[in-house]
Amino acid sequence: MKLKSFFPVYLAILLAIPGAMIYSHEKILKQGEVFMFKTRPVDPYDLFRGRYVVLAFEQDSFEYNGPEHYPNNTVVYLTLGRDKKGFTKIESFSTEKPKSGTYLRAHVSWHEKTRWIYSEKTKTSEAVSANTVRFHFPFSRFYMNERKAPKAEALYRDVNSPDPKKPQIVMAAQVRVLNGSGILENVLVDGQPLAEKTK
């Protein structure tokens, strides 16, 4: 049998791969539980996928009491909860899948054992003992229109300037979480979609 007779099979597989990707993402978006992560955007560029804002999250670490050391890139499962204002907080984490509760699969980005704090008195940095595990979430890019992405960053920078007279805004990533997978659904600025705020 000639190789080219397999071409339709190849084409079918090729179409099935993005099809499967779309199906799994749509499933999470439809059935996943909504969590809001406080965030700050920065605007870079991807050669193939266009402009996006990188999201840095306020709740991306956990003060740990145990003796273990977690090397970078260790896969962990974060049990998610909500604070009084409804924003996501990490309640616990483990290298084993939790049996109950909503959890998110993430990677350890850094296990901080020592923190350097600058002292105004001595004008030097001093090492302080710490035990903080920082995480890298599977959602950190929010793709935006070429003209809107820089506006999103400028919006955050302007409104969050040190000037107390300027109004403070809250940016949050709306994430759908299902069976450990998390998909970024939207980024909200004071409850309004970022794309609308940057029109």
Partner 1 sequence: MKKTDWLNQEIGKWVEGRIISTEQAEKISALYSVSGSSKNTAATLFSILGAICLGLGVILLFAYNWDQLGRSIRTILAFLPLLASGALGYWVLSKHANSAAKCESIAALFFLSIGATMALISQTYHVSDDYNTFFLTWMLAGLPLVYFFNAGVPLIFYLAGITFWIGDCQNRGGHALFYWPLFLLALPKVVEVFKAQSESIRKIWVAWAIVMTQTIALGVSLEKSIPGLWMVIYAFYFGAIEWAGRRFFPHTESFWRNPLNRFGRFGILVLAYLLTFDWPWRETGFLYYRDEGRYHGWASAADYVLFACFGFLALRSWAENLKDKQEELSLLGFFPFLTALIFALNSIRSGFVMPELLFNLLLLAYGIFCVTGGWRKDSLKLVNGGLAVIALILVTRFGDSSWGILTRAFIFIALGAGFLVLNRAFSRKGKKV
What CA–CA distance (Å, rounded) separates 54 from 60? 14
Closest alpha carbon to 153 in 187, 105, 114, 109: 187
The DSSP secondary-structure symbol of 180 reads B
The residue with tokens 């870079």 is 44
Q: Does 34 bind partner 1 (CB under 8 A)?
A: no
142 binds partner 1 (CB under 8 A): yes
Of 196, 190, 184, the closest CA to residue 138 belongs to: 184
128 binds partner 1 (CB under 8 A): no
Residues 35-74 that bind partner 1 (CB under 8 A): 46-52
Residue (31 or 145) nearer to partner 1, CB: 145
Q: Which of 31, 145, 161, 192 lies at the binding interface for partner 1 (CB under 8 A)?
A: 145
Report, in Å, the least distance between residue 124 CB and partner 1.
30
Q: The tokens of 6 are what?
A: 């397999």
Residues lying near partner 1 in the complex (CB under 8 A): 3-4, 6-8, 10-11, 14-15, 17-18, 21-22, 25, 46-52, 137-146, 148, 183-184, 195
